[in-house]
Amino acid sequence: MDIDFPFVLTWAVLICGAVWLFDVLVLKPRRVRAAEALEASGTGADRLEQALREPRLVEYARSFFPVLAIVLVLRSFLAEPYQIPSESMVPTLEVGDFILVNKYAYGLRLPVLGTKILDVGEPRRGDVMVFIPPHDPRYFIKRVIGVPGDVVRYENHALYINGERADYELVSTFEVYLPSLNAALPVREYLETFSGDTHRVYRYPVREPSGEWEVPPGAYFMMGDNRGRSEDSRVWGFASEDQIVGKAVAIWMHKQPGLSLPTFSRNRWLD
C-alpha cells in the first residue's frame, strides 16, 4: 500500500502544532496556577517541579513541531526527493535513480491541496516533470512533449509537434530481453530533438499507441523516453496543470533494488 507522505506530514504538523498551542493557552497556565498555590502553602521543590512538568504528549509535540514544520516547508515549496520506480524514462533515468525535484520551478503550491499561490514559471517542451496522472494517485515522471495549444502526433515511432517532425539521429543498436514477451528484441537508441531540446530515446520493433492529440488549456502531453515501454499520455490522456509536483533537475544517488549499496556514479544535472 502506498502512503500519501505529504498528507501524513501535513496532518502531523497540524496535530503537533495544535497540541503545543493548546498547552500554551490552556494547560500551562493551569500548571502555573497550581504551582503558585503549592508554593504559597509551603510545598517542597520536588512537588513544585512535578506540578510544572509538561505532559509527555506535549513534550513530544513541542519537540517534533519545528522539525516537521521545516521539513514540510522545504518539501512543499522548494525541493523533494523521488526514486525512479519503472523503466519508462530509460535511458535518461534508470530504475533506482534518486532524483531531486524542484517544486519552485513551476510556482508555489499549497501542500496536499495543490493550489498554486505564486506563479513562477510554466513547464516547457522537453522538461522532465513529476506529476500525478488522471488515473493514478501516485507520482509519475515523464517528459513534457506538448504544452497547451499544441497538436501532438505520434506515428511510425516518430513524434510530430504542430506538424513538424522531430529530428532523429541513430546512436546505437543492441538487444534487450523483455520478460513480458519472453524474448530478446533489438533496440535502437536515438537522439531526439524538438523545440531546441535533445535527449535520448529507445525505439522497439513493436506496435506502440499512435494518434493525434490537441493539448487543451491547463494540460500537458507527457511521454516516457523508453517509448515502447512507457504508459503515458498516449494511453491515459493529459496531465493536469493543478496536479504538477515539480521539475526533475538532478540525479543525486542510485541504488539497485535489494541489498546493494548506493552509488553516486550516475550523479548529474538533468538538462
Q: Are 210 and 223 in contact (CB under 8 A)?
A: no
- CB neighbours of residue 189 within 10 Å: 17
| 225 closest CA partner among 60, 124, 92, 127 | 92
Angle, alpha carbons 117-10-30 (nearest 5°): 115
Count Cβ atoms within 10 A of the Cβ of residue 47 and give its class: 0-12 exposed, 13-18 middle, 19 or more buried: middle
| SS3 at position 161 | strand
**Cβ–Cβ under 8 Å, residues 231 and 134:** no
- Sign for the CA dihedral angle at 271, 159, 242, 113 comes to negative
Active site residues: 88, 142
What is the rounded radius of gyration, in angstroms, for the C-alpha atoms of the chain? 26
